[in-house]
Structure 1
Amino acid sequence: MDLIIRELGSRPADSVKPKEIDDWLSGHSEWSPATKNRYKTVLSKAYQLGLGGDRVSRNPVRSVERRNEGDGRIRYLRPEEEVRLKVAIARRYPGHMPALVFALHTGLRKSEQFGLSWGDVDMNRKVIIVPHPKNNRSREITMNETCFAVIENLNKSRPDDDRVFRSDRYKKRPIADIKKAFENALKEAKIEDFTWHCLRHTFITRLVQAGVDLRTVQYLAGHQNP
């Protein structure tokens, strides 16, 4: 939101035309189509709030076409799909439920999540330290109540090994890849065109939908650029 205010905020909101918004998005050639759509969503939400408070008379963002994300489109978990997926995981692979919930509430990359050790967890501060993310910059993720409850329960029963997430079947082994189990659960839940990485998309999309500013979303996701 800071960037939007910085680049468009000097204009009276009612004076901004759809073409100007479209040109503004197009001008940021460094952004992917998905990122442009996220900025469009944030700006539209701001106008909707303005309409509700009688501060603006229209929402010009509605007339701006979404960018075609093609094969890079964002697939995220809808609420009803999340319910079905959790039911399937709980029935077939209950030991993987903590990993699923953690992914939905942190948005970590798969390699980051399953590479976590207990040395990366600060229970007192309720913080996860991501030590070796994709861009080689460490970041801290503050755990919400749901995420902290998952980590707290895992901590109570953790073995001597330092790995946070462990195999459901082989308790002394780290989870190398839960792809097959996840695919089976997705099939049972009748969820198509979805991978583990889409849980990360879900986390990011929900932040944007909740009105979290893009700079914060960028940091939490570990992106160098939004």
Structure 2
Amino acid sequence: MKAKLTANYLKQLSPSDKPFEVVDSDIKGLLIRVQPTGRKTCYYSYRSLGGKRQRIKIGVIGSELTIAQARDRAQSLAGKVAEGIDVQAEKSSARRYALHLQQNTLQQFIEHSYRPWATANLKSAELSIESIYRAFKPYLAFPLVNLNLRLIENWRIQELDRGIKATTVNRLIASLRGVLTKAVEWEVIPEHPLRKLKPLKVDEGKKARFLSTSEEAKLFAVLEERDHELKAARERANEHRRVRNYLLLPDLSRFAFADRITPLVTLALKTGMRRGELFDLEWDAVDFHNKVITVVGETAKSSKTRHIPLSPSALLALTQWREQSDTSVTRVFPSDTGGRLDNVNTAWRNILKAAQIMNFRWHDMRHDFASKLVMNGVPLNTVRELCGHADLNTTLRYAHLAPDHKAGAIAMLG
């Protein structure tokens, strides 16, 4: 049975006791199969390259598409067949791809694809992935295609309600966004689900935390007392061992420092280096003759090499630390096993508590460095270069600390 398949024709087409088909008289290969229930399904019939007659389902009229859409789809399929494309194989491939998307969860993609790439290309890959696992734990088993804008916006609202800072929320979403960006680039998902999600607005002019003169004095007094106590404790331990003929521990009394903490804090305050940059610092990067530290691009957050002159206190601390360090170890501040230092959180918290210094993180020593440079009249661009900021906007948060910079600008108006 042949007829031109139009909307009016289908309205008049009544089902019978048995299924039957109507072939379109206009588009070759387009046909509709009518079930006794009244269900009308469109197909496109064609001969494959091998000459075998095949048909491909276009869709159900009414619930899935209109007859006009079915006709357009049939014409598109006819064009592909004319070009020698196996449309059935193409559809099977699309079906397999859709199944793949459903099976590729966030965690699977991170473990099998993203982690190997991130480990090779990003300096803080493991920290970033760990933060994603902690923050987005409920969504790790979600297929990537199911992660959408509404889902993450709801997560963001919940985090803010829990008291998480907007800057923290933005940073966590940025980490997740980076994973999804790679999923799009590698054609694992068709589009970026967070492309329309804008970061939360934060106060970029927030006051930078730096130490007052009295706080800095208390900090170094505590560091000095800490070294003294550790040396005394070592001496008592060796006296205990000496009486029992045990092997003695290294004598600390002849050294400037009891351990790495005092020179590490001194360098953080007087060079503005990031914690990771200090942990990765090697002796080859310290030029004692020219009094300069080189932060190489491989360890810098900006991936750009920069040179930091050493102040007298920083140079003295490094010189004294070098005298008591193991010369066979390349890192300036290695861990107890000689590898990369992991963290100094416990020691740092105890030092702040003893010095009665509140609301001062390790990273704030970097703010202290930048703030005091600006307060002493150092140009902002020079501060940017010394701190390794990617752009001047980051450095501008310290601009208000410049001596009378606003008053001087207004005075120029007369």
Query: TM-score normalized by structure 1?
Result: 0.64
Hey, what's the Cα distance between the residues in 1 that align with 2:225 and 2:331?
Answer: 24
Match of 1:76 among 185, 210, 220: 210
Match of 1:142 among 301, 309, 327: 309
Higher strand fraction (1 or 2):
2
Provide the residue aligned with 1:123 in structure 2. 288
Q: RMSD of the TM alignment (CA)?
A: 2.1
TM-aligned CA deviation for residue 157 of structure 1: 2.0
Calculate percent identity across the aligned residue pairs: 34
TM-aligned CA deviation for residue 174 of structure 1: 4.8
Hey, what's the Cα distance between the residues in 2 that align with 1:92 and 1:156?
Answer: 20
Count of residue pairs the alignment pairs up: 157
Q: Deviations over 1:109-137 (max 9, x none)?
A: 11111110111112222111101311110
Name the amino acid aligned to 2:211: L
TM-aligned CA deviation for residue 150 of structure 1: 1.3
Hey, what's the Cα distance between the residues in 1 that align with 2:339 and 2:390?
Answer: 33
Name the amino acid aligned to 1:84: K
Q: CA separation of 1:125/1:215 partners in 2, compared to 1, >3 Å: closer, same or farther?
A: same
Query: TM-score normalized by structure 2?
Result: 0.36
Q: Are residue 109 (structure 1) and residue 274 (structure 2) matched? A: yes
Q: Deviations over 1:10-41 (max 9, x none)?
A: xxxxxxxxxxxxxxxxxxxxxxxxxxxxxxxx
Provide the residue aligned with 1:220 in structure 2. 386
Q: Deviations over 1:62-93 (max 9, x none)?
A: xxxxxx557x5311111111111122222235
Q: Deviations over 1:134-191 (max 9, x none)?
A: 1110011111211111111122222111110245xx4745532111101111111111
Hey, what's the Cα distance between the residues in 2 that align with 1:123 and 1:74?
Answer: 31
Residue pairs, 1:42-53, within 5 angstroms: none
Provide the residue aligned with 1:209 in structure 2. 375
Provide the residue aligned with 2:333 in structure 1. 165
Hey, what's the Cα distance between the residues in 1 that align with 2:339 and 2:295?
Answer: 21
Provide the residue aligned with 2:219 in structure 1. 85
Name the amino acid aligned to 2:266: V
Secondary structure at the aligned position of 2:294 is classed as: strand
Hey, what's the Cα distance between the residues in 1 that align with 2:331 and 2:382?
Answer: 28
**Which structure has the greater CA radius of gyration?**
2
Provide the residue aligned with 2:320 in structure 1. 153
Secondary structure at the aligned position of 2:293 is classed as: strand
Hey, what's the Cα distance between the residues in 1 that align with 2:358 and 2:294?
Answer: 32
Provide the residue aligned with 2:240 in structure 1. none
Hey, what's the Cα distance between the residues in 2 that align with 1:126 and 1:134?
Answer: 23
Hey, what's the Cα distance between the residues in 1 that align with 2:311 and 2:359?
Answer: 28
Higher relative contact order (CA 8 A, sep 6+): 1
Name the amino acid aligned to 1:199: M
Provide the residue aligned with 1:196 in structure 2. 362
Match of 2:341 among 175, 187, 191: 175
Secondary structure at the aligned position of 1:141 is classed as: strand
Residue pairs, 1:18-37, within 5 angstroms: none
Return 5+ residue gaps in structure 1 as ranges.
Answer: 1-67
